Amino acid sequence: MAKRSGGLRFQPSGGEKKPQIPTGKKQRLSVERLANDGRGIAFVDGRTWFVDGALPGEEVDARVMGARSQIVEARSERVLAASAQRRMEPCPHARVCGGCNLQHLSAADQLALKQRSLAEQLSRLAGIEPQVWAPPLSGPEFGYRRRARLAVRWDNKARRLDVGFRAGASQDIVSISECHVLVQPLQALLPALLSVLHALDKPQAIGHVELFSGTADAVLVRHTAALAEADLQRLTTFAQAQGVQLWLQGEGPPQPLDAAYALGYRLPAWDLELAWRPGDFIQINAPVNEAMVAQALDWLAPEAGERVLDLFCGLGNFALPLARQGAQVVAVEGVDEMVERARTNAARNGLVNAHFHQADLSKPLAEAQWAEGGFAAVLLDPPRDGALELVRQMATLGARRVVYVSCNPATLARDAAELVRQGYELKRAGVLDMFPQTAHVEAMALFERSV
């Protein structure tokens, strides 16, 4: 093989390569529109800038957070000309905390952004739109989050403990004194929690802290080393004084300080209470979760005795209300522990018409005994990756109605295109505002197939 000449240099087809923009550089920008993730978009010298905290029509001074090729990621540091859409953020940490990235936008404008994002994904990726757009399901724009994780890091050089949330596009921790999106019991708990964490003798042992509010309030302390006896006593005293459960997690699963502790949440419209443990998945927004379940049941419209399949059923958030309405429910989940808790939840609520199974939902359904006999309707609530392999098999289940609950419009659109190829029509779709003050979009879609 001929030896390559080391003296030859080839000019890229696009012309001379532009110098990379260094992190930290400041740039004045005129913002033209919003991206689906809520960042402002500006254009300078052939590059596209995505700017946190900027709105269309604004002129801002921004600082570069990172750059690659023709894409620059930046954060607005000063607004020179503000949009009429801009509002003052209620939280003092909003401009630096990565937890909320849309507090500067009104609730109505946030919903409009999310609806546009869903519509664009369905149109661009699947080439479809629903016959009817459902009104968005929303609840309080603040005070909604019943579960949260606080990052904890000991800064040995500064001899300082940082407790808070990650900064946007960074591993830095923004120390917080308040958080407006937490439900009120957790907001009230925060000052005492911060105080006890800062009083620990060995805070280096703490990895993170999680907060929970449901039928009881709880604090989970994740520790990466054994807690000092004095620190454990401080945490115990704090929990007793605040009337909250204390859970600890070292190398194994979370454990309650008192074996009698129990956590749960209620679905009052169906007279249900679901038990859960730290580490289990639950929807963090109780009002929107209840509205979501009600809409799913309305769209599925199961008649008494009809067989309904609930895929990715978790603790039974949809399965138990479906059973309460009289459907014969087959519910499937991939995690053994969740399946057992779902069965226990059904039994404790006196439901005998919900049957739970563990299965790898990435595998063909034809081999599963629980799939035999077909279903009148199917509900699926998959993770962000979607459920492409499942929807490819949907027609074999015989379901006329399919309700798809999604936390990622892109994978919903991809899977919707596959359902359409199988003869389903997209009848309805709409957003679920599960995470106000963020650009995160959840959605629900109803597909029907002619018999």
- Please enumerate in sequence order all residues whose Cβ is within 8 A of that of 279, keeping only pairs 6 or more positions apart, or say none: 253, 254
Q: How many CB atoms lie within 10 A of CB 88?
A: 7
- Which residues are part of the catalytic machinery? 407
Closest CA to 149 of 239, 240, 212: 212
What values do phi and psi take at 146, rounded to 5? -95, 5
Instruction: Report how far residue 221's alpha carbon sits from residue 66's, in angstroms, rounded to the nearest whole number.
Output: 33
Question: What residue ranges in 250-340 does DSSP mark as E strands?
Answer: 255-256, 263-267, 272-276, 307-311, 328-333
> Can you tell me the distance from the alpha carbon of 54 to that of 61, in angstroms, rounded to the nearest whole number?
10
Task: Note the Cα 59 to chain centre separation in Å.
Answer: 31
What the block records as the tokens of 126 is 């699947």
Distance of CA 343 to the CA centre of its chain: 25
Token pair in block for residue 356: 């739970």
Residue 56 to residue 343: CA distance in whole angstroms: 50
What's the Rg (C-alpha) of the chain? Answer: 25
Question: Residues, the chain, total?
Answer: 451
Contact 323, 346 (CB under 8 A): yes
Rounded to whole angstroms, the Cα distance separating 417 from 439 reads: 24
Of 434, 440, 442, 437, nearest to 53 (Cα)? 437
d(CA 20, CA 345): 56
